[in-house]
Structure 1
Amino acid sequence: MKKIALILLVFMASAACKTNPFTGKKMLNFYGNSQIFPTAFAQYDQFLNQNKVVETGKDAQMITNVGQRIASAAERWLSANGYPGYLKDYKWEYNLVQDETVNAWCMPGGKIVFYTGILPITQTETGVAVVMGHEVAHALADHGAQRMSAGTLQQLGAVAGNVAIKDERTRNTFNQAYGLGSTVGVMLPFSRSHETEADRIGLQIMAIAGYNPDEAANLWRRMKAKSGGQAPPEFMSTHPSNDTRINNLTAWAPMARQEAAKFGVTSFK
């Protein structure tokens, strides 16, 4: 049993060789679109059925319009960089949901939700584009499938340890240490790296779509003000700190402009 678990662990890790087109790096991902997307689409539909979707009005229309522009910009970039069929399985959808939560999210395959609670932070169409670019980037980089892959490896590691350790007291100690260590030392940094990656990819895409990348840092300044500076230490969080994001986005904005210029985009909203 121990050997089987270890062999499976090594095999799954080595099989995770899909390349992120935006970074050129190998991704930890051994789930294909055909395995992930149907479930994600069904869960998305269920969520919409159980929540109040804002179907009409200028805000709902803005969410859809911005989403379409961002997705179109992503497709332009992918086609220009040798990935013309990358989005063939994606089914983009953008919905505004009545909820005071300051959040937005994206499911695998391009299913996006904005809560009305984030609109006072986004303030403008360009602010929406900052958030939309980030959420679209999560979908493009297969972050959902990567999280599932990492979670599977984490579980396999726990199984291997429990099989290998026969003494119950030692096994209990291992489980406590492994749970904390693998979460704080691996899973949380993994999640933060995804958020940082989505910030950078999203900034690039929003610029190609014609939105001013300088506004990304301003949005996070507003987010920081909204939170009142209350946040867990970065190493205990799934997301980078507001200050880290502000500094990163400020530094990356000129590069996003340069990338947009390759597509003839030199003026921005």
Structure 2
Amino acid sequence: MRQYTHLLLGGLVASSMLLSGCSSSPTGRQQMLLFSENDMSQMGAQSFEQLKQQEKISTDAKKQRYVQCVTDAITAKVGPLQGFDKWEVVVFDSDQVNAFALPGGKIGVYTGLLKVATNQDQLATVIGHEIGHVLAQHSNERLSRSQLADAGLQITGAAISGSQYSGAAMAGLGLGVQYGILMPYGRAQESESDIIGLQLMAEAGFDPNQSVSLWQNMAKASGGNQPPELLSTHPSHDTRIDDLKEGIASLPAYNQAKPNCDAI
């Protein structure tokens, strides 16, 4: 009887959480979001500080200016977000073909990506996509699902206090590959970020057609071996490229006031 009561109470709590956390993404997809924007910003800031201590930060000022230029052009189209005024951008010195954006306005780009994203438009594809994850609150969505799956894992408070659950929080924020914990974005989230990213880069003056070239380069970089970290949980190259072509066809003409980050 006691066990039944616990199960009933657990079901009631879960139902209450589901009802209170219902929301819609920028594309109209239904989401369950259990964490506040402030919670997510705190987790993003904490995880970013940990990464800056653990990873090697590039000392190449030119690369930093280049990535900052592309990021600034895109984030200018995002507008102000709750919890921060400016996006912080750090270039990490690593062969990883990877990048990420975290709640709270934190962006990391690995120098290995700059060898595959061969121009500013291709880099804008990746940065726009990663910012899309933040705007659509995909990290919140993943952590919310995890929270419901394991009611005993109190991710928010534990992560912020720096406890053993910080790894789970980092995985939910999109940093799981580096830390051996996998909490992948779903295909719907990846496709949604592609759509948002295309819109952002086009509004910022970058050529959205270069998104196809970027993923073609990614396919070559994988070479049949283990894919770059950025692709480890993503749809297949062909699927993504076909979806991007369809998305590009539905975009209005992109802003011709093109940034000139390549010249930096």
Q: How high is the TM-score relative to the length of structure 1? A: 0.75
Runs (4+) off by over 4 Å? 187-190, 266-269
Instruction: Tell me the SS of whatever aligns to 1:139.
Output: helix
How many Å apart are 1:119 and its aligned residue? 0.8
- Per the TM alignment, residue 231 of structure 1 is displaced from its structure 2 partner at its CA by 6.3
Alpha-carbon shift at residue 63 of structure 1 (Å) = 0.8
Instruction: Say if 2:18 is the partner of 1:24.
Output: no
Shift of 1:142: 0.9
Aligned equivalent of 1:143, options 129, 138, 154: 138
- Distance in 2, Cα, partners of 1:49 & 1:267: 38
Unmatched runs of 5 consecutive residues or more in structure 2:
1-5, 153-181, 260-264
Gaps of at least 5 residues in structure 1 are: 76-84, 158-186
Question: Between the two proteins, what is the percent identity of the paired residues?
Answer: 32
Of 70, 83, 94, which aligns to 1:89? 83
Taking the aligned partners of 1:219 and 1:93, their CA distance within structure 2 comes to: 24
CA distance in 1, matches of 2:119, 2:185: 31
Structure 1 vs Structure 2 CA RMSD: 2.4
CA–CA distance in structure 2, aligned partners of residues 268 and 92 of structure 1: 21
Taking the aligned partners of 1:250 and 1:231, their CA distance within structure 2 comes to 25
Tell me the distance in 2 between the aligned counterparts of 1:189 and 1:43. Answer: 17
Counterpart in the other structure of 2:71: 67
Q: CA-to-partner distance for each residue in 1:192-226, whole Å, 9 max, x for gaps?
A: 22111111110110000000000001100110111
**Are 2:8 and 1:11 aligned?**
no
Cα distance change of structure 1 residues 2 and 188 upon mapping to structure 2, 3 Å threshold = same
Flag the 1:7–1:44 CA change in 2: closer, same or farther, 3 A. Answer: same
2:238 to 240, 243, 248: 243
Aligned residues: 221
Give me the whole-angstrom Cα distance separating, in 2, the residues matched to 1:140 and 1:48: 23
- Alpha-carbon distance change, 190 to 41 in structure 1, aligned in 2, over 3 angstroms: closer
**Max Rg structure:** 1
More helix by share: 1
Structure 1 residue corresponding to 2:116, chosen from 121, 135, 139: 121
Which one-letter code corresponds to 1:155 in the other structure?
D
Q: Supply the distance in 1 between the matched residues of 2:58 and 2:251 (Cα, whole angstroms).
A: 32
Please point out which of 108, 131, 145 is paired with 2:126: 131
